[in-house]
Amino acid sequence: MGPARGHGHVAHGGDSTLRYGPTSTRLWERLLTVSQEIIQPNIKGYRLETLYMIYHKALMLRLRSWVVKASRDRETTDIAAHRNDLYDAMRKTADPKTGEHFTLRDVWQECFMILIAGSDTTSTALSNTIFHLLHNPSAIAAINQEVRSTFARAEEITPDRVSSDCKFVRACIDEAMRLNPPVAHGPLRQVGPGGISINGEDFEEGTRLTAPIYLIHRHPDYFDHPNDYMPRRWMVEGEKLQRQRKAFVPFGIGPHNW
């Protein structure tokens, strides 16, 4: 198979063991070692992370400009054309005590967060779930069996029914979010006066800290074979399941994780 044909084969779903073959596995391990031992220390030592933040800030400013433009376009449309959606709800909502409404700037900030938290996380979770299922035919077969045995007609399939009645479907989604969490880390927290000590390491006042969700989800203290896609790990009972749930925080700590 020539180079051009080979690339086309992969692009159309062919399996060329680019991810799971022994050669590629060794390659990824070496790249990871280079990243951890050479690239990352130099980035920190020379404070090159500032370059990334400049690029990141530019992207955020572009997104914010789009949100502001979309909001202004919405404000200029006929009120009768407004939809009964989150934007309308924010514009109509008033504080029950003061009667004050959101300012337009407040609405912009909320839309900015909703756009990231509501759409990017969903698309990321679904994309990663499909990716892992495509590499695990047995999981696809199990999902097919579960869905077909649970629902007699397509019209019966609703999000609530799938969530409550299709345990393996839910397990596949959760396992994909464990390996590739839609949110890579928790919110930043700044160390207060006097500093803080965490697991024997001291952090001075003003240091900004966060919890790396990606690393927590792959910690062997919480998950057996942490780098493997194993949906059925979520279908166990007892202490093992509780230990896993404690460390499963794809959207941070709170009721929306489960």
* 8-state DSSP, 174: H
Residue 40 lies in a domain: yes
Query: Which SS3 state, helix, strand or coil, does residue 161 take?
Result: helix
Block residue for tokens 């952090």? 203
Same domain, 128 and 241: yes
CA distances from 12 to 21, 93, 132 (A): 18, 49, 17
Count CB atoms within 10 A of the CB of residue 78: 6
Most confident option among 10-14, 35-39, 80-84: 80-84
Same domain, 238 and 164: yes
- pLDDT grade, residue 82 (50/70/90)? low
- Angstrom distance (rounded) from CA 72 to CA 60: 18
Same domain, 250 and 160: yes
Ramachandran area for residue 162 (φ above 0: left; ψ -120 to 50: alpha; else beta): alpha
- Angstrom distance (rounded) from CA 38 to CA 60: 29
pLDDT tens figures, 37-74: 555 556 656 666 666 667 777 877 888 888 888 888 88
In the predicted structure, residue 6 carries a pLDDT above the cut 50: no
Residue 76 lies in a domain: no
pLDDT in the model for residue 49: 60
Averaged pLDDT, 231-247: 93
Same domain, 200 and 137: yes
pLDDT in the model for residue 31: 57
- Which pair of tokens denotes residue 58? 């530019």
Same domain, 202 and 134: yes
* HSE, side-chain direction, 13 A CA sphere, residue 98: 4
Block residue for tokens 């460390």? 247
pLDDT in the model for residue 11: 35
pLDDT in the model for residue 27: 54
pLDDT in the model for residue 86: 81
Decide if 125 contacts 182 (C-beta within 8 A).
yes
Residue 146 belongs to a domain with what CATH number? 1.10.630.10
Question: Hey, what amino acid is at 229?
Answer: Y
Same domain, 252 and 140: yes
Same domain, 133 and 202: yes
pLDDT in the model for residue 42: 61
Comparing 93-97, 183-187, 211-215, which segment has the lowest mean pLDDT?
A: 183-187
Residue 94 lies in a domain: no
Same domain, 235 and 151: yes
Same domain, 128 and 196: yes
In the predicted structure, residue 81 carries a pLDDT above the cut 50: yes
Residue 97 lies in a domain: no
Residue 205 lies in a domain: yes
Averaged pLDDT, 77-88: 70
Same domain, 189 and 254: yes
- Which pair of tokens denotes residue 164? 């409550």
Residue 136 lies in a domain: yes
Question: Hey, what amino acid is at 56?
Answer: H
pLDDT in the model for residue 45: 63
Same domain, 59 and 135: no
pLDDT in the model for residue 230: 96
Instruction: Give the total number of structural domains in the chain.
Output: 2
Taking all residues of the chain, what is their mean pLDDT, rounded to a whole number? 79
pLDDT in the model for residue 33: 61
Strand partners, 252: 250
Residue 16 lies in a domain: no
Domain boundary among 67, 89, 124: 67
Residue 184 lies in a domain: yes
Pairing of strands 201-203, 189-190: unpaired
- Which pair of tokens denotes residue 12? 């159309």
* 8-state DSSP, 103: P
- 176: containing domain: 116-258
Count CB atoms within 10 A of the CB of residue 252: 14
pLDDT tens figures, 149-182: 999 998 999 988 988 899 999 999 999 999 999 8
The values of phi and psi at residue 21, to 5°, are -70, 160
- pLDDT grade, residue 235 (50/70/90)? very high
pLDDT in the model for residue 88: 83
Same domain, 129 and 61: no
